[in-house]
Structure 1
Amino acid sequence: MPYRHTVHQTNYVFDDLKTLLARATPLRSGDQLAGVATQSAEERVAAQMALAELPVTTFLNEAVVPYETDEVTRLIIDTHNATAFALIRHLTVGGFRDFLLADSTTTATLTRLSPGLTPELVAAVSKLMRNQDLITVSAKCEVVTRFRNTIGLRGRLSTRLQPNHPTDDVRGIAASLVDGLLYGAGDAVIGINPATDHVQTTVQLLEMIDAVRQRFAIPTQSCVLSHLTTTIQAIEQGAPVDLAFQSIGGTEAVNASFGINLALLREGWEAARSLKRGTVGENVMYFETGQGSALSANAHHGLDQQTAEVRAYAVARAFEPLLVNSVVGFIGPEYLYNGKQIIRAGLEDHCCGKLLGLPMGVDVCYTNHAEADQDDMDTLLTLLGVGGVTFIMGIPGADDVMLHYQSTSFHDALYIRDVLKLRPAPEFEAWLLQMGLLDDHGKLLPVSAGHRLLAGGVIG
């Protein structure tokens, strides 16, 4: 059905819900590329005002991607929790925004509400929010997951230690791994993006990380970010798989472009859980997402890229992940043109994922041809830290030598933990203290040449 709103005697008409959502979205290059962006700031205001007046129940009755042709839509509708939704059923989208920002809406309230929220509604309310609103709401959310340590507790910030290498050289990866551990990184996961998606390489890297983990009794988890089918084969060969990884999107078509569907995700989830390698929990999935992936695969169905992105979080939610990571600036300036757009998208992704009950991390990053720099990343990192981001990346020098993009370094993690008084995951923090890497105040200690992590040929 069409939606209308009049601004300055101009009557704006939006043909359907997905058009309304697209026109209400803050400007970004990907929506311009897709031809769904608003033509003026006034039209955006009209769309946002029309969206604010919309009953939240609209999102239960009008699908933005047809139910009959899209398994993600079917997942969203078939698993909706009407009991949880009853708390806000009487509201408009604008009223829902006020509800989220109200002092009386607590962390416990949002936790109870989360199963009743649809991704399209969450995307819609975020389009009515300023950056400070996104930060305020995400800071209220607390999503805790567990495998060998406990991720997401309030006052904690975890890091993915990302020791990538352009040729998957084990010595080079081991050197970056030890470097990161010495800086206190790695409590979210020690995760390698392999240069080649081969089962043999995946198994070799998993065995190397697991040997280091066991040798030093490190309470963390490992992951080689190969395709899920490769991980399943590695499990069948007896590899020490902690987490199963997969990039996901918000439509059946974009997931098909990744070579997956919901049935395959379930197979990987069950295979990883069958190993029972967790010690404090059994959250075994690691998902990565990013605004623009649906458009880049021509699988967006006319959706704006942020709405498509939030639908991916419904896919993630179905498999109880340990970690979900929005690689926000990785896909390039065709989708997020500059630092301003990357910052806004990172705050949106974090807030929307948390509202849907996900352990959201953000890869605070940009490609070298984007109109962005490390100052923009410092700003986004700080804002996400204030908003309670679950984890960030830790990369030597913030420069990924295999994927060729700019992210956050081990030092950046130390900065944000220090200024915001955040600490690592509790089990990992205890290990850092035991190893003499942190003092009792959470400050990094100098490391002598004889330190255990440097002795005995770890990199040999």
Structure 2
Amino acid sequence: MVLRTTLFGKVYKFSDVKEVLAKANEEKSGDRLARIIAKSTEERVAAKIVLSELTIGDLRNNPVVDYEIDEVTRVIQDGVNEEIFNKIKSMTIGEFREFLLESTGEEIKAIRDGLTSEVIAGVTKLMSNMDLICASRKIINKATCNTTIGNVGTLAARLQPNHPTDSIDGIMASVMEGISYGVGDAVIGLNPAVDSIESVSNILKAFKDFMNKFKVPTQNCVLAHVTTQMEAIRKGAPMDLMFQSIAGSEISNRAFGIDVKLLDEAYFLMKELKASKGDNFMYFETGQGSELSSEGHNGADQLTMEARCYGLAKRYKPFLVNTVVGFIGPEYLYDGAQVIRAGLEDHFMGKLTGLSMGVDVCYTNHMKADQNDLENLAVLLAQANCNYFMGVPGGDDVMLMYQSSSYHDVATLRQITNKRPINEFEIRLNELGIMENGALTSRAGDPSIFLNQEV
């Protein structure tokens, strides 16, 4: 395994695979904060050259966190299909990039169970933004909860009706408006202001009552801590999806108050008591930089740690995974260019891992980014066949205080990419007069549809 190269007459040496991965990464403020970033463009290029000549086997055999000390590493390594790995282990990362760009989606799916998260992160660092879009576009990952997400030609959206006090009336006003704009086919999912069993249960029941009364085919979820949701479902709450934020290391997951044992327990509890019908009933959120926030990055770069989140999520066959790409702040992604790059990276890595992948195309107000950056990323991801986006009233979350994609953005993205909602959901929207032939009607945006009559 060669960890050196000569560039413009200068020899660049790297101490280990972890350093190569870190310095081959596109510039991120989080890696700079962690003091692991390449010192110059030349060093970054040198690291990419070295990385391109390492093999899939080299990266598998050198995880960024040791197997013995990290359960996320153990989940990823133990989940590898050894037969597939042995067929591809001698392929260099440069050759693997070419394979991804030249092959069909089915050919890519045939080898992905032989990959570890470090391999997926490594090839991502060699790809341009357009490479990431082209490769992502070919990978179709479906999942089924009450409905099926990920079919070709669809673009779904999570209806995010957050409220600063968890007022049921306020939440349901946003739900009615969102549905009236054709948003909510991925899930009606709320980030709670109050993480209590009673509040979570009441909101889940309100969502389910609305879904049943108006015959809206979708899924419900309240994004409380997994332990709160577990108690709520034990007490009879009608829960379609169970949620948890996850990280790429054991240390950082402990900071979230979770470990693999707890996630396993939640999975099997949900399998027994869920209100949904399908085999995919978990929901995870991630985001580059979270491991640095909790001092759990183990000296690795934030992209590689993010890839490891997806390796952990894969264990639970989730219905939804999304990266909240610009939420953590400028300490980790400084500006619009870094957010756009990270969003394309995360989406690609999730899809190559085999996940039903969405992106919360977002930014915080203290970040050097704006509405145009958000829209640029959303359009690029829609072309990359991202499974779903967020639908937030006005694009401005009044509880979490950040900027995301609005109900109007979702409608526009479907229009310009000629995509439609999940089929059963669209059929019901047609019956309600909200959509016709894939387009919103004049009734769209009128939540009184759900107030003035039984429909």
| Shorter-normalised TM range | over 0.9
Secondary structure in structure 2 of the residue aligned to 1:260: coil
Note closer, same or farther for the CA distance 1:236–1:450 as it changes in structure 2 (3 Å cut).
closer
Query: Which of 124, 142, 145 lines up with 1:144 in the alignment?
Result: 142
Gaps of 5+ in 2: none
| Equivalent residue, structure 1, for 2:219 | 221
CA-CA distance at 1:235 after TM superposition: 0.9
| TM-score normalized by the length of structure 2 | 0.98
Aligned equivalents of 2:4, 2:152: Cα separation in 1: 42
CA-CA distance at 1:282 after TM superposition: 2.0
CA-CA distance at 1:276 after TM superposition: 4.5
Aligned equivalents of 1:343, 1:449: Cα separation in 2: 33
Gaps of 5+ in 1: none
Q: Does the Cα contact within 8 Å between 1:361 and 1:391 map onto a contact in 2?
A: yes
Alpha-carbon displacement from aligned partner over 1:303-334 (angstroms, at most 9, x marks no partner): 00000000000110000000001000000000
| Equivalent residue, structure 2, for 1:57 | 57
| Equivalent residue, structure 2, for 1:125 | 123
Q: Does the Cα contact within 8 Å between 2:435 and 2:444 map onto a contact in 1?
A: no
Q: More deviation in 432-441 or 401-410?
A: 432-441
Q: Does the Cα contact within 8 Å between 1:161 and 1:180 map onto a contact in 2?
A: yes
CA-CA distance at 1:273 after TM superposition: 1.4
Q: Is 2:296 aligned against 1:299?
A: yes
Alpha-carbon displacement from aligned partner over 1:195-224 (angstroms, at most 9, x marks no partner): 011111101111111110110111100000
Aligned equivalents of 1:440, 1:62: Cα separation in 2: 52
Aligned equivalents of 1:3, 1:441: Cα separation in 2: 53
Alpha-carbon displacement from aligned partner over 1:126-161 (angstroms, at most 9, x marks no partner): 100000000000001000001111101111110000
Aligned equivalents of 1:336, 1:310: Cα separation in 2: 16
| Equivalent residue, structure 1, for 2:423 | 426
Query: Which of 158, 168, 178 lines up with 1:160 in the alignment?
Result: 158
| Equivalent residue, structure 1, for 2:95 | 95
| Equivalent residue, structure 2, for 1:176 | 174
Q: Does the Cα contact within 8 Å between 1:184 and 1:444 map onto a contact in 2?
A: no
CA-CA distance at 1:108 after TM superposition: 1.0
CA-CA distance at 1:367 after TM superposition: 0.1
Note closer, same or farther for the CA distance 1:19–1:231 as it changes in structure 2 (3 Å cut).
same
CA-CA distance at 1:445 after TM superposition: 3.7
Q: Does the Cα contact within 8 Å between 2:321 and 2:358 map onto a contact in 1?
A: yes
Q: How does 1:403-418 map to 2 (within 5 A)?
A: 403-418=400-415
| Equivalent residue, structure 1, for 2:358 | 361
Q: Does the Cα contact within 8 Å between 1:289 and 1:325 map onto a contact in 2?
A: yes
| Equivalent residue, structure 1, for 2:310 | 313
Secondary structure in structure 2 of the residue aligned to 1:278: coil
Aligned equivalents of 2:114, 2:158: Cα separation in 1: 30
Alpha-carbon displacement from aligned partner over 1:224-274 (angstroms, at most 9, x marks no partner): 000000000001111111111000000011100000001111111111111
Query: What amino acid is aligned across from residue 410 of structure 1 in structure 2?
Result: Y
CA-CA distance at 1:60 after TM superposition: 2.4
Q: Does the Cα contact within 8 Å between 1:146 and 1:283 map onto a contact in 2?
A: yes
Q: Does the Cα contact within 8 Å between 2:118 and 2:304 map onto a contact in 1?
A: yes
Query: What amino acid is aligned across from residue 12 of structure 1 in structure 2?
Result: Y
Aligned equivalents of 1:229, 1:10: Cα separation in 2: 54
Aligned equivalents of 2:310, 2:219: Cα separation in 1: 22
Aligned equivalents of 1:237, 1:278: Cα separation in 2: 16
Aligned equivalents of 1:207, 1:80: Cα separation in 2: 39
Q: How does 1:43-122 map to 2 (within 5 A)?
A: 43-102=43-102, 105-122=103-120
Aligned equivalents of 2:447, 2:375: Cα separation in 1: 34
Q: Is 2:282 aligned against 1:285?
A: yes
CA-CA distance at 1:447 after TM superposition: 4.9
| Equivalent residue, structure 1, for 2:7 | 7
Aligned equivalents of 1:311, 1:285: Cα separation in 2: 17
Aligned equivalents of 2:274, 2:294: Cα separation in 1: 35
Query: What amino acid is aligned across from residue 405 of structure 2 in structure 1?
Result: T
Q: More deviation in 85-94 or 362-371?
A: 85-94
Query: What is the root-mean-square deviation of aligned Cα atoms in Å?
Result: 1.5
| TM-score normalized by the length of structure 1 | 0.96
Alpha-carbon displacement from aligned partner over 1:274-302 (angstroms, at most 9, x marks no partner): 125323x2211000000000000000000
Percent identity over paired residues? 49
Aligned equivalents of 2:407, 2:25: Cα separation in 1: 34
Secondary structure in structure 1 of the residue aligned to 2:238: coil
Secondary structure in structure 1 of the residue aligned to 2:247: coil
Query: What amino acid is aligned across from residue 132 of structure 1 in structure 2?
Result: M
Q: Does the Cα contact within 8 Å between 2:420 and 2:438 map onto a contact in 1?
A: no
Query: Which of 182, 192, 196 lines up with 2:194 in the alignment?
Result: 196
CA-CA distance at 1:87 after TM superposition: 4.6
Query: What amino acid is aligned across from residue 59 of structure 1 in structure 2?
Result: L
Aligned equivalents of 1:215, 1:61: Cα separation in 2: 54
| Equivalent residue, structure 2, for 1:263 | 261
Secondary structure in structure 2 of the residue aligned to 1:259: coil
Note closer, same or farther for the CA distance 1:448–1:89 as it changes in structure 2 (3 Å cut).
closer
Aligned equivalents of 2:130, 2:377: Cα separation in 1: 12
| Equivalent residue, structure 1, for 2:374 | 377
Alpha-carbon displacement from aligned partner over 1:139-185 (angstroms, at most 9, x marks no partner): 01000001111101111110000000000011110100000000000
CA-CA distance at 1:66 after TM superposition: 0.8
Aligned equivalents of 2:407, 2:85: Cα separation in 1: 41
Q: Does the Cα contact within 8 Å between 1:2 and 1:13 map onto a contact in 2?
A: no
Aligned equivalents of 1:37, 1:353: Cα separation in 2: 23
Would you say how many aligned residue pairs link Structure 1 and Structure 2?
455
| Equivalent residue, structure 2, for 1:332 | 329
Aligned equivalents of 1:450, 1:286: Cα separation in 2: 27
Q: Does the Cα contact within 8 Å between 2:239 and 2:276 map onto a contact in 1?
A: no
